[in-house]
Copies of this chain bind each other. A is one copy, B any other.
Amino acid sequence: MDGDIRMEFNFKHKINGQDLIIAIAQDYKSLQVLMVAYMNKEALIKTLKTKKVHYWSTSRNSLWLKGESSNNFQYLKEILVDCDMDSVLLKVKQVGGACHMGYNSCFFRRIDTGKIAEKSYNLDDMSDEDLNIILDKVFNPDDAY
């Protein structure tokens, strides 16, 4: 590690021929972390231009305007970059909910570390008792997708 401060984006994450940065979305008021995804350069520029968050969908291999099918758009309020400039933190106003399962955040489950400990950390053998749902649904995904 050195003291140099990086000034250019480093799209270092390579998936299916795309050069990507990691993008974390955080509610700009509550500071709840909503989701994490990737952006290519086009998604980042479109996000900056339109103030609507765009990602690169690595499953569909296409540009992804968040909310394009659900109308659950993310409006950019602030954008921070990390020291390595290979990830960004998006402070957003989230319409509806961020998660396609109907929750405000994709991080709606907490691992019960006590129960996991009893199982000797066998992560291959997790049940819904090990994963507590800690959020309420804010919309019905059947209506949105």
Contact = CB atoms under 8 A, between A and B. Distances in A.
Interface of A: 1, 3, 5, 7-9, 13, 15, 22, 24, 26, 30-33, 35-36, 41, 44-45, 48-49, 51, 76, 78-84, 87, 89, 99-101, 103, 106-111, 113, 116-117, 121, 123-124, 126-128, 131, 134, 141-142, 145
Nearest to A44: B123
A12 B9 CA distance: 24
Given A9-B123, A49-B121, A79-B111, A100 B41 contact: no
B35 A82 contact: yes
Given A107-B81, A107-B89, A26 B33 contact: yes
Contacts of A30: 31
B8 A124 contact: yes
Nearest to A110: B80
B89 A141 contact: no
B83 A108 contact: yes
B36 A117 contact: no
Which of A9, A51, A79 is the most central at the interface, judged by chain B CB atoms within 10 Å of its CB?
Answer: A79
